[in-house]
A and B are shown apart, each in its own frame.
Chain A
Amino acid sequence: MFVAVASLTTLGLILGLLLGVAARRLAVEGNPLIEEIQAILPGSQCGQCGFPGCAGAAQALVAGEAPVTLCPPGGRDVVAALALKLGIEVDLSGIKDSGPQIAEVKEELCIGCTRCFKVCPTDAILGASKHIHSVFREACTACGKCVEACPTEAIAMRPVPVTLQSWYWDKPEERLAA
């Protein structure tokens, strides 16, 4: 009787100690999930989701306060990646994805006011005061901030143009005879 109680107590104490030590030694600083989620998001801090930047959006996602479909520039791929990471099932077919987009400056309307490149989160708009601006394609995340900032509606979003280098075959049509 005594032996059993004593041995079990000792065992419990030792295991508890181990757990306590492990909890201290192997403690994780912050929530790693938030960082992982942040890595999935575009990172342009455009704020279209309504949260203060991508870090805020990541926190909200982890806390379950925002849907995985919150990021318009990310498109379907980001939704899928977020859903996978958070273990959420989503119906991707309902998500609007107009394909990769890019900002384009209509040169005849641009007055060179520089407002757009002041708001651009990735410095993708080039140009100087009183000069026509242009968009550096590789840096544009299609966040749309410049469209809002432009006083002459000279900036619009349009699909990324297909080139000989970027073109590829469509998925074969689903078979007719199933």
Chain B
Amino acid sequence: MADTVIRTQHASHAHAAGPRPRPIFSRRNIIIYGVLIVLALYYLLPIYVMVVTSLKGMPEIRVGNIFAPPVEITFAPWVKAWSSVCTGLNCDGLSRGFLNSLKITVPSVFFSIAVASVNGYALSMWRFKGANVLFTILIIGAFIPYQVMIYPIVVLLREIGLYGELSGLVLVHTVFGMPILTLLFRNYFSSVPEELFKAARVDGAGFRTIYFKIMLPMALPIFVVAVILQTTAIWNDFLFGAIYTRPENYPMTVQLNNIVNSVTGVKEYNVNMAATLLSGIVPLSIYLISGKLFVRGIAAGAVKG
């Protein structure tokens, strides 16, 4: 211990040759970490306030400070938000929306990725006539404001009898997930060496064989990325859920908004925050668990396009 102190003192006096060691508390580091920490507070504040508020009783919220930690921790708001808070005529809490969201998200993620991965594969490897035009329409379609298409889709869904049903919403999610996912898969498959594809063709492998035997196993990481992207996107959707489902089929986001922004009754802020957290838990855990894959997905999908 004493030895190191002496040595560092010695080093700071003598201007030895070689690169100067960068001290931990250099001005540069203080500025960088200072700015980062201040910005981190902006990002962390809301989730902290949410957690703290959801664990307080209403009397404590009325007299206290939203940033103060709870004096008496109570889980009653969580229980109420999950199982007994009312939206319209239904008083079975957010659990209903949770189940609906699950029933919407799982098939939507599956179908949209299944379709889009085949699309991306067909577009990048097979380049049939009209492929480029089709892909261009698809990508431009991603930029058409949803508002332009929502009503005719209502008419279409009504025609095929799926308006208001969960399956209708699944179809809508599959359709609107197609551009971005197709782009993701097309970019991935375009980076696959062409020799691989040609070799498989020479060996007599067809469209399906190449997809299932070569491309699918190779593209597993990008499938994981797609699952992460789609699950969060569909779980978080509000607009389509609000338009294409009946109240008893509302996904969690729509139900949550109806609970918190309802004008009737006394506002129970702790229940509201517990409900908000509950509907954020699924995408948040996906994000925290998937970590770098989530990041890689965003970067791969956007930068290479």
Are chains A and B native binding partners rather than an unrelated pairing? no
- Give B contacts to A, CB under 8 Å: none
